[in-house]
Structure 1
């Protein structure tokens, strides 16, 4: 019986090790779950709460990592569900990490609160206030941003239009959509609605529930505004875009590519053909995480291994 129990304990320990692997050279010893499923118990235990390692406003950035990292989630997500992997990973690697849930319309729901639902200009103002708070608390002069999905394009309004270019050093994006998306052909249908003058009716019905949704569309007013004039990629900010060819939300995935002397594009499958992560999966993908760490600390880059990954990450 003792042998059976010991064997069962060993199997359980091994299984947990595969899911929760602390980062190399960890300093905080927080478990890093390489699975999106970690969001479920976290959300149930503390709905809308900060992910592990985030929002310690007594944290002081080190000389090695002088900029705090601010995490910005995707549409319909929040800080809890989006950052169970990256928050402890970055904390273990010596960063001061901060996250927020933005774009919540009305009164927050008690069990699960989706964020990113108001127009992105409004969310960008929320982000601006949050970053000012982070800078004041940490004494840093700039932050780095790590965004996923909507969290890649919403902060661009802050950087371009709200003075954020002077306060952001590095801007790392998972599954960005700088040119919007044509998902299910909705952008083309919306263009047709413009011709038929149906936009006021559609916007009036959609905006109260999701003011940001139509802003994602290729050719939207928001998208056109961000790409006009000086463009999205502002001087003085270092941009890294991390894309997957299997992105089913950003269509085509190449709409996440950027150009400019301060812009770097990484398509995961160019360096790891065994990575089949889709849009959401990059939030728990080991290969993407390696690129993120290198982007945040380009002076000390490390080889990014090719770890086989399914659609929902590795």
Structure 2
């Protein structure tokens, strides 16, 4: 593992950060403080939303981290400080709240099309505040799959996004380890239960394989010209299943399977976002090129 942790090195020297933030690579360490963090409406992970952060020629794009379904900003208590320590201006926020409580600890459950409009407004605010011409999006699960893809495809995000990086992304929909098929096996209660679930928690149902939204987003191709897409996938994913759905097709795509360069990496859908190897891949994907100087990249992984 020591040798593989290096992952492919980036070609440019890293900018020296003005601050050093603590990074914890243990998913379990985030759990005890989740409630306190989410109930504080002003809380954001270390390194994120720093008003003193300034974009540079080496780091010209704000990095916006998009949460997974049923999580909030705590999801990036490892990724945000890791990137901030390397000179990136990192931004987080919550979206998809189905309650009237702004700091409700479980978010990302609302209708994904509405959430996409919500993040569109947030991205515009960040671009105005920083003066950026483009942003980089890094998302986990929904935040790396349907949500940014809808924003890019239907809300003009293809003109604003330089790079989009999906960590265990819910591309092409998920079977939820076959749970989505229950509605077919237990008629009539299966379909009824599914419809109730869909009404209460739209984002879960919309991410099911073959959902109407999945067909709408991926039906005419996986990508749009402009952004570069990177997927970081694990074969041990037990939620975004089958894991091969996470890969994309397109000339502007890099697909990465964590086990290709480290067969003993046991990351699954939750721990992948707290893996240092994951975030080294994220860093390399963002250092790969800017939209002003981009060359084709090899695709890694299988579809």
Under a length normalisation based on structure 1, what TM-score does the superposition of the two structures give?
Answer: 0.80
Q: 1:161 aligns to what? A: 154
How far off is 1:115 after superposition? 1.0
Q: Give the secondary-structure state (helix, strand or coil) at the position aligned to 2:277.
A: helix
Q: Give the secondary-structure state (helix, strand or coil) at the position aligned to 1:207.
A: helix
Q: 1:126 aligns to what? A: 118
How far off is 1:278 after superposition? 0.5
> Structure 1 residues 252 and 166, CA, compared in 2 at 3 Å: closer, same or farther?
same
> Structure 1 residues 57 and 190, CA, compared in 2 at 3 Å: closer, same or farther?
farther
How far off is 1:188 after superposition? 3.2
Greater shift, 203-212 or 267-276, is seen at 203-212
Under a length normalisation based on structure 2, what TM-score does the superposition of the two structures give?
Answer: 0.83
What is the aligned counterpart of 2:142 among 150, 161, 167?
150
Runs of 4+ in 1 over 3 A off after TM superposition: 23-27, 186-193, 195-199, 201-204
> Structure 1 residues 109 and 141, CA, compared in 2 at 3 Å: closer, same or farther?
closer
What is the aligned counterpart of 2:285 among 286, 295, 307?
295
How far off is 1:203 after superposition? 5.5
Q: How well do the aligned residues superpose, as a CA RMSD in angstroms?
A: 2.4
Q: 2:179 aligns to what? A: 186
How far off is 1:40 after superposition? 3.0
Note the 1:1-314 alignment, pairs <5 A: 27-47=18-38, 49-80=43-74, 82-108=75-101, 113-153=105-145, 154-190=147-183, 201-202=192-193, 204-229=195-220, 231-298=221-288
Q: Distance in 1 between matches of 2:106 and 2:63?
A: 22
Bigger share in helix: 1
Q: Give the secondary-structure state (helix, strand or coil) at the position aligned to 1:277.
A: coil
* Unmatched segments (≥5 aa) in structure 2: 1-13, 291-303
Contact 2:176–2:241 (Cα < 8 Å) also in 1: yes
The answer to which structure, 1 or 2, has the higher relative contact order (CA under 8 A, 6+ apart) is 2
How far off is 1:91 after superposition? 0.6
Structure with greater Cα Rg: 1
Q: Distance in 1 between matches of 2:16 and 2:56?
A: 15
Q: Distance in 1 between matches of 2:260 and 2:51?
A: 38
How far off is 1:212 after superposition? 0.8
Number of equivalences: 273
Contact 2:182–2:190 (Cα < 8 Å) also in 1: no
> Structure 1 residues 38 and 137, CA, compared in 2 at 3 Å: closer, same or farther?
farther
Q: Distance in 1 between matches of 2:159 and 2:275?
A: 31
Contact 1:27–1:93 (Cα < 8 Å) also in 2: no
Contact 2:47–2:90 (Cα < 8 Å) also in 1: yes
Q: Distance in 1 between matches of 2:264 and 2:258?
A: 9
Q: Distance in 2 between matches of 1:163 and 1:196?
A: 41
| CA offsets 1:244-273 (integer angstroms, 9 cap, x no match) | 010011111001011111000000000011
Q: Give the secondary-structure state (helix, strand or coil) at the position aligned to 1:219.
A: coil
